[in-house]
């Protein structure tokens, strides 16, 4: 005979297992942690979950996730208005932002072209990018999609779409990581770093 926890606990465990990387064992541990947690924490946790659905939306300019429209970055007048950095996800923007704080404007595609998964150019925000270039005074578009098949396909497609427009299009370089050891780098990355070599 299968032994189950009381229905509300089973329901919580079932919901927690839907989170990425959470199996039943971890979900059960989390459920019992929550069962014993203080009421104030449970209220705060449930409110924060509801808030992300009710208050978070996409910026109407760059499609970043935001609770104000336009987002904080689009409203920042100190940023260069001539350079837009195109990324696949908001999380990628945060990484670039941490190395180049307060510098670029962004355009978040929300994905990359992936024919196997049925994601074509119309499923991500490429059309909106083109409209921005036509409307705003943008001089350079830096395509910072992932250096994998999907990211490269997307970069290539964007390059073609923007070609007729008077804008410089650049692609982030890929190669040997800082602090890395050449012995451990895969041949494709070595090839890319050689192709992207620069003068000393």
Q: Site residues (CB under 5 A) for Zn ion?
A: 59, 61-62, 64, 70-71, 74
CB of 79 to Zn ion, least distance (A): 11
Residue nearer to Zn ion on the CB measure, 64 or 145: 64
Residue nearer to Zn ion on the CB measure, 13 or 93: 93
CB of 72 to Zn ion, least distance (A): 8
CB of 109 to Zn ion, least distance (A): 13
* Complete DSSP assignment for 96-158: HHHHSTTT-EEEE-SS--BGGGTB-GGGTTHHHHHHHHHHS---EEEE---SSHHHHHHHHHH
Residue nearer to Zn ion on the CB measure, 46 or 68: 68
Residue nearer to Zn ion on the CB measure, 60 or 148: 60
Do 107 and 125 meet the contact criterion of CB atoms below 8 Å apart? yes
CB of 186 to Zn ion, least distance (A): 35
Element housing 12 (H / E): helix 7-16
* Complete DSSP assignment for 167-199: -EEEE----SPTT--GGGS-HHHHHHHHHT---
């Amino acid at each position: 005979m299968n032994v189950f926890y009381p229905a509300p606990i089973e329901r919580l465990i079932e919901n927690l297992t839907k989170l990425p990387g959470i199996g039943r064992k971890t979900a059960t541990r989390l459920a019992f942690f929550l069962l014993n947690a203080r009421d104030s924490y449970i209220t705060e946790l449930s409110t924060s979950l509801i808030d992300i659905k009710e208050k978070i939306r996409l910026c109407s300019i760059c499609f970043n996730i935001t609770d104000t429209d336009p987002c904080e970055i689009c409203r920042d007048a100190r940023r260069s208005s001539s350079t837009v950095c195109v990324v696949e996800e908001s999380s990628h923007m945060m990484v670039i932002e941490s190395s180049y704080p307060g510098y670029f404007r962004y355009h978040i595609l929300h994905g990359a072209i992936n024919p196997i998964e049925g994601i074509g150019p119309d499923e991500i925000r490429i059309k909106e990018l083109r409209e921005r270039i036509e409307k705003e005074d943008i001089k350079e578009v830096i395509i910072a999609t992932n250096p994998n098949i999907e990211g490269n396909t997307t970069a290539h497609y964007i390059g073609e779409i923007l070609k007729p427009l008077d804008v410089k299009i650049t692609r982030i370089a890929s190669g040997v990581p800082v602090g890395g050891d050449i012995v451990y780098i895969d041949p494709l990355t070595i090839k890319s770093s050689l192709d992207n070599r620069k003068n000393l």
